[in-house]
Structure 1
């Protein structure tokens, strides 16, 4: 009868590693159950690969680049036994990571896939032609980056300058309405890179100016087109990933939303402050201004403004370029809807995302999360988000190809 507890187990605390650090853990061999499993050798390997895939209908083109392969034999039959007071032999291992590695990554579409996969594999070799026991544990690696000390983000200074992206657009109420103007300003800290896991302040400033009209026909208490947003649920702010994969001379680029910070009729991902100044009347030159003023029907424009202040947190793999085979970039996409066809205002802001990680950090066990998009009402993680495909070592084709190359490569000692 097979034992309920396996003879081979791996103890590897959930950790986000960084390049240049160490990956260490334990392999436990239960000698009480060893007679059933009959292992003759136990070894461990730490492996990394970059895989790019481009699809054309029923055909698929693939390319693979090895990033990392470190292997150690931990135990050979007869070489070591557990202490007298226990049945468990604890075998320790530790691997040093190279000083630079691209981040763990997985982005897939109907046209292609880019994946950076890292996995610790423990193999219990059985004698003869018996199948080995293989344990695969995907791990998370980020590039080490000390651009900013995590405890002192640069935007903590009150004197930090802002970089502002501006979009101005003429909008119409109805098909033949006179043009009004909408001006959207999106401001972020003026710094070259943005690290993970740190709230980054931003401001969205909306100014609307009506078409020239009579003040009597659009009083201060009326709803005036175009009216600026007054709640966070009237904005859409998303983080979009753009991935380029290359296989030989072919190239394909695809995009997807990975996080939504503000969404229509959704709770925002962080606290929001709204500033809603009163409308302002701006008169225009009018030869009959005195006569119209006496009648209370002067010509001019209403200027309305709203300002949203909040913060966003990045929890995605940082930007990278893996040997020109896989390239990952990000941009923030802001959309401010206004009534009427074609009146929405959109702007894209490219951002450079870095890890901001200088040492390994503990993480929780993987919990599946929707990839498209993260619910804007959910608290953002302090851990890098990777889709379920990254953790499914038995399901995705990329992992099947990855693990296919892991085979016992050592001589098998004979058991008595």
Structure 2
């Protein structure tokens, strides 16, 4: 650190992890007083900023107009050092300046979205400024963007803990029946998606799900097997591999900038795990294919249909900003599942809205902070807020 600080008048030490609304964030600034005097730095201060920014561009022929709006969320300044206010140890030129700041408890989560001619972001940052008054002198600045997530309620924390330990609560079934067609004939297929019956799903938490797909062939003779003598299975064949399934999370964001309102749609692939370090990897899905079952018709023992079933079992994770309605930005989510079958328009689709909620408690104040009381870092939940994907750039 000494070698690094010897070449720079100001060094910022601030842990780059997501923060929770209401949390007291802390760090230090190392100031090389000798270099500060050489560069005529007369004050070191720290600024905390947060804002919702939106923009919408409209086109009228060859002329375009951009509407922008900024809603402040944080605006705090604090002086850390002035000449004579703090001195380094006798054997050093470095003085360490500690700082801490409490985030408001009602902050919306970090967020960003963009499309052609429109966009919006909720972003937070801190900036250390070394003031160098005078013409032809530029201030020394260090800026750090950090992410914020809302604090989870006690009930949300209990649900999050239950999901991580293995969900034993009630399940909700979302069902869809379709009549698939091969030529003029119609056969039937049913799909059901089972999820924990919750009003809100915590972000960055594995959510178990079960998919059941059941197909029924057209009426055939008892001698006609699901795989006929040519090796071609009877239509419709349920997908036996999860690679054929399409699972997406779709987000619709309403953006407002002054008198203009627009929407942005984003789609996130849930088949890949992308929020972990390293390249995306395919999510592990267990598949169970049942043996075909012969269902005879009521009026004939020799004619009926074959019923085939496949079941997929895995988890989903949503590393995205919780569902939020802010002053000029609000967004909602919907799950979309597509089960492909041969033939035009034969895919089975299940889609329904879901609400994403926070999954992390607000940590207690840092050890030694005023008002710490009896709290220690042992009171902090072991799993802090993991990084999200859709953070402001």
1:348 and 2:351 aligned:
yes
Q: In structure 2, what is the equivalent of residue 61 of structure 1?
A: 67
Residue of structure 2 aligned with 1:140, choices 147, 151, 155: 147
Is this contact kept in 1: 2:204–2:319, CA < 8 A? yes
State how 1:104-119 maps to structure 2 within 5 Å.
104-119=110-125
1:285 positional shift: 4.3
1:218 positional shift: 4.1
What do residues 368-414 of structure 1 show as CA deviations (whole Å, max 9, x unaligned)? xxxxxxxxxxxxx97232447x23xxxxxxxxxxxxxxxxxxxxxxx
Counterpart secondary structure, 2:36: helix
Is this contact kept in 2: 1:39–1:126, CA < 8 A? yes
State how 1:80-119 maps to structure 2 within 5 Å.
80-119=86-125
Residue of structure 2 aligned with 1:44, choices 29, 43, 46: 46
2-side partners of 1:158 and 1:19: how far apart? Answer: 28
1:282 and 2:295 aligned:
yes
1:315 and 2:319 aligned:
yes
1:339 and 2:342 aligned:
yes
Counterpart secondary structure, 1:15: coil
Is this contact kept in 1: 2:325–2:331, CA < 8 A? yes
2-side partners of 1:9 and 1:158: how far apart? Answer: 46
What do residues 31-66 of structure 1 show as CA deviations (whole Å, max 9, x unaligned)? 242244321111101110011222224332111111
Residue of structure 1 aligned with 2:157, choices 117, 131, 149: 149
Q: Indicate the RMSD between aligned Cα atoms, in angstroms.
A: 2.4
Gaps of 5+ in 2: 274-279, 365-383
Gaps of 5+ in 1: 362-380, 392-416
Is this contact kept in 1: 2:69–2:257, CA < 8 A? yes
Residue of structure 1 aligned with 2:308, choices 297, 300, 304: 304
Q: In structure 2, what is the equivalent of residue 268 of structure 1?
A: 282
What is the number of equivalent residue pairs in this alignment?
354
1-side partners of 2:267 and 2:322: how far apart? Answer: 15
2-side partners of 1:64 and 1:313: how far apart? Answer: 32
Closer/same/farther in 2, CA of residues 71 and 203 from structure 1, 3 Å limit: same
Closer/same/farther in 2, CA of residues 307 and 299 from structure 1, 3 Å limit: same
Is this contact kept in 1: 2:208–2:314, CA < 8 A? yes
Is this contact kept in 1: 2:163–2:206, CA < 8 A? no
Is this contact kept in 2: 1:148–1:154, CA < 8 A? no
Range 242-251 or range 10-19, more displaced: 242-251
Is this contact kept in 2: 1:238–1:262, CA < 8 A? no
Counterpart secondary structure, 2:75: strand
Residue of structure 2 aligned with 1:171, choices 163, 180, 194: 180
1:179 positional shift: 0.7
Q: In structure 2, what is the equivalent of residue 383 of structure 1?
A: 386
Q: In structure 2, what is the equivalent of residue 181 of structure 1?
A: 188
